[in-house]
Amino acid sequence: MSTTAPLEGIRVADFTWVWAGPYCTLQLAHLGAEVIRVETATRICVTRLLPPWADGEFGFNRSGYFNQYNQGKRSLALDLKQPHAIDIAKELIAKCDIVCENFAAGVMDRMGLGYEVLRQIKSDIIMIALSGYGATGPESHYVSYGPAQVPLSGLSSVTGYRDWPPMHVGISYGDPNGGLHGAVAVLAALHHRARTGRGQYIDLSQQETTIAVLAEAVMEYTMNGAQPPRDGNRVPQMAPHGVFRCRGDERWVAIAVRHDDDWRRFADLTGLPALATDARFATLAARKQNEDALEAIVGTWTETRGPEEATRELQTAGIPAFTSMSNRDLSEDPHLNEAGFFVSLPHPEVGIRQHAGIPWRLSRTPTAVRRAAPCLGQDTDYVMGEILGYSADAIQRLKEENVLN
Amino acid sequence: MAEQALSGVRVIEYGEMVAAPYATKLLADLGADVIKVEPLGGDPARRHGPFPGGKPDPDASGLFIYLNSNKRSITLDLHSARGQDVFAALVADADVLVHNAPPAQMAGLGIDYRALSQRNPRLVMTSVTPFGLTGPHCDYATTDLILWNAGGVAYLNGGGPGSGAMPPLKTFGEQAGFQGGVNAAIATLGALYAAARDQQGQHVVVSIQESIAAILELTFEYWPYMGLVASRLGVKPIQPLDFMECRDGWIFLCCIEEHQWRGFVELMGTPEWASMELFDNRLTRAQNWDALKLLLQDWVSQQSVTELYRAAQARRIPFAPVSTMGDLLHSEHLKTRGFFATVAQPGVGAVTLPGAPFHFSQTPWRLVTPAPRLGEHTTDVLTRQLGIAAAQVDDLRQRGVV
């Protein structure tokens, strides 16, 4: 084992907020970078203001949403609207390798922190802007909020029940998806910088990164001129293929019968005589044609057992199935707990709480969440003193002047 | 041509469908040299479609073309000892191996980090798996539907007020695979950065279930923070934040801040009902959404999507069209940004697909070669890269190894 995380020694100036940008820098923190959030009490990050709050009690440092996506980072309280604050930001950037921001296009430029300025300060800086629409193009100045990204990107038009309106996907998917693609881009730029010594600017549009994961729908249109229909949980290649009600309140199991082999085993296992011998279900084409009847029969089997029981029985027979997991199911899942996925680190205001951790493991270099999410301004003294070399007196003065706020 | 960010990085992929192939696509499009190792029957994505004219053709699957352009393809039977020898020789010379073979099959296919890294200590090997390599679910059979539910996103979607009978809902496409893929690309690049420093590789294991469970927005924490099960059936705490039908398509109304609502009211010509106490703020608008929805629907149904979208955005109201695929392909914005790319696919013709998901100022994303035909580069890679004599390649072919 090496004791050095992959990005040990890499420092990130993090001007992001809400979810897309913070999710990008979270990946860098997971890999060992020192990520310094630049934030202010005068305009508080949206996620610090949103529930869930620890024990239902509101507070800037008590939001599970914020504390989930800012694990492992530090927080510098710096009000960029105050005189001299921009100079301090520049001093910080001079000591950083990466600058990440997800303001609306043009905001960093107007603050005097655009890429052309920053590369004068640090010639090999890597800067990434993650915006809803990207930094160029006729809609680049449009306002973009997470929930609106899912419909904008085309995902809602193909997601939903048959004959129902377009639907959301349950989360503001464009945000994390954009953040993850942003992390890929930054890491690739770091490789290039290691080889050549040169930094660069990266413009990422969440709309585009979401379309990137919708390729099947895009190509159905470009190759055949057709918009794929909304068809619930059904797909052309498999049947039955759905989420079925189980015993209990809002308990469901997902089942995917991939091919005729799965189908024969499914009929054997469930012992539903209608299934094994019924010509309506003998082939995929027949099952697709009689899918309503098929799903009704499958539902009579699932509703007599809990989803875990159904999953066990089906998986033992080699048939893909899984409980439709709630947040509580995930939290208590023996597999995820055994895998060490969850992280519970002490936090000064909310104590020890369970958070989702890192979805991957590296065998040699340690990648662990190293600290709980920071309280607002928790690391101001450290950043100003140890990284930027300010005296304790100077830091105190800047606090009194509300620059460090 | 300008050099690319990952020029000089050599990658071997033994992947199928989306997860591993998307990880290596992200690397290939940034300049990595990716050799895709396919079983003799080919990657199942070749049979997935969409196909031109709906006619199955292993060299014309849209999903395959999208995920595998910029790569080279060789076929190899990893169930045979000689196939595994060739595979080991390929990997010995590579920086990265990415695969998504099931854990139970890995050893039998010769995908064994310890053995492979003995010949190539700087190898980064990435295993993209549904549930990791150990634990009670590691050998479970899965598909996209299964993993989207196992990760917890499906449970948050579907249903809605008055529709509790409808099941949790999958998101379109192969989203679990894409999430596994982009997470695998991040972890791989991180390990590669470490390997560049000390010439030591490592084994990276990516769990797709965990990749999804990590993106539940604020919902996961409702349990550890407040002891609440996040429900898809909940009424939204603020409104308008909903889909509505215009005269020519759907729009998404989005008024998160109060000034956005005031702007929307002005846009509607300040109707009298808008001053009712019932709709005073975003919380009361949500509580009275059933009534408000009808009033809004009445007005919205007479508008055109594009005009309402533009008028709203001109007032800094973050409405968005419910874009269809046609809308995206015809978007002036995306055209100006040069987003969609076109590849000349042999046997198919010009195919338009999603292009650069990020713009680099120095090292561009680039689409260079079309997706390979099954085994198109087998002879070339075996003879030129591994130095195997042409006669021996013929022998391997006759024995069904390649």
- The pLDDT tens digits for B27-72 are 999 999 999 999 999 999 999 999 999 999 999 999 999 999 999 9
CA distance A199 to A132: 23
Point out the residue among A133, A181, A341 whose CB comes nearest to the CB of B357: A181
Residue by residue, DSSP assigns B288-326 as THHHHHHHHHHHHTTS-HHHHHHHHHHTT---EE---HH
What is the nearest CA distance from A320 to chain B, expressed in angstroms?
A: 5
pLDDT at B160: 64
- Report in angstroms the alpha-carbon separations of B279 from A72, A396, B161, B294, B298: 41, 46, 19, 13, 16
Nearest CA in chain B to A177: B179
Q: For residue B392, give every residue at least 6 positions away whose Cβ sits within 8 Å of its Cβ, in sequence order, or none.
A: none
Decide: residue A41, CB within 10 A, 0-12 exposed, 13-18 middle, 19+ buried.
middle
* A-to-B residue pairs, Cβ atoms closer than 8 angstroms: 503
Count other C-beta atoms under 10 Å from residue A277's C-beta.
Answer: 9
Question: CB A338 to CB B136 under 8 A?
Answer: yes
- CB contact set of B275 (below 8 Å; sequence gap of 6+): none
Question: Judged by CB atoms within 8 Å, which residues 210-229 of A form the interface with B?
Answer: 211-224, 227-228
How far B339 CA lies from chain A's nearest CA (Å)?
A: 7
State in Å, rounded, how far the first CA of chain B is from the last one.
34
Q: How many residues does chain B have?
A: 402
B6 and A318 within 8 Å at the Cβ level: the answer is: no
Assess whether pLDDT exceeds 90 at residue B278.
yes
Nearest by CB to A171, which of B153, B223, B353? B153
Contacts of B361 in chain A (CB under 8 A): 115, 200-203
**B175 → closest Cβ in A145, A213, A222:** A213
Of the candidates A97, A175, A262, A379, the residue annotated as catalytic is: A175
- Answer yes or no: A231 catalytic: no
Q: How much is the pLDDT for B232?
A: 79
Tens digit of each residue's pLDDT (9 = 90 or more) over A374-387: 999 999 999 999 99
Query: Within 10 Å of residue B276's Cβ, how many Cβ atoms?
Result: 14
Name the burial class of residue B389, with classes exposed (0-12), middle (13-18) and buried (19+) by CB atoms within 10 angstroms of its CB: exposed
Contact A27 B158 (CB under 8 A): no
pLDDT at A106 over 90: no
- Checking if the pLDDT of A306 tops 90, the result is yes
Cβ neighbours, 10 Å, residue B344: 10
Q: Is B218 exposed, middle or buried (0-12, 13-18, 19+ CB in 10 A)?
A: buried
**Mean pLDDT of all residues in B193-199:** 94
Give residue-wise pLDDT tens across range B281-311: 999 999 999 999 999 999 999 999 999 999 9
Mean pLDDT, residues A137-152 taken together: 95
Q: Per the CB < 8 Å rule, is B200 touching A364?
A: yes
Closest CA of chain A from B197, distance in Å: 9
Contact A360 B156 (CB under 8 A): no
Q: What's the whole-number mean pLDDT along residues B178-189?
A: 98
CA distance, residue A391 to nearest chain B CA (Å): 35
What is the pLDDT confidence band of residue B163, given thresholds at 50, 70 and 90? low
DSSP bridge partners of A360: B206
Chain B residues closer than 8 Å to A254 by CB: 145-146, 148-150, 154, 168
CB interface of A with B, residues 72-111, below 8 Å: none
Q: Which residues of A touch B194 (CB under 8 A)?
A: 2, 4-6, 362, 364-365
The reported pLDDT for the residue numbered B158 is 85
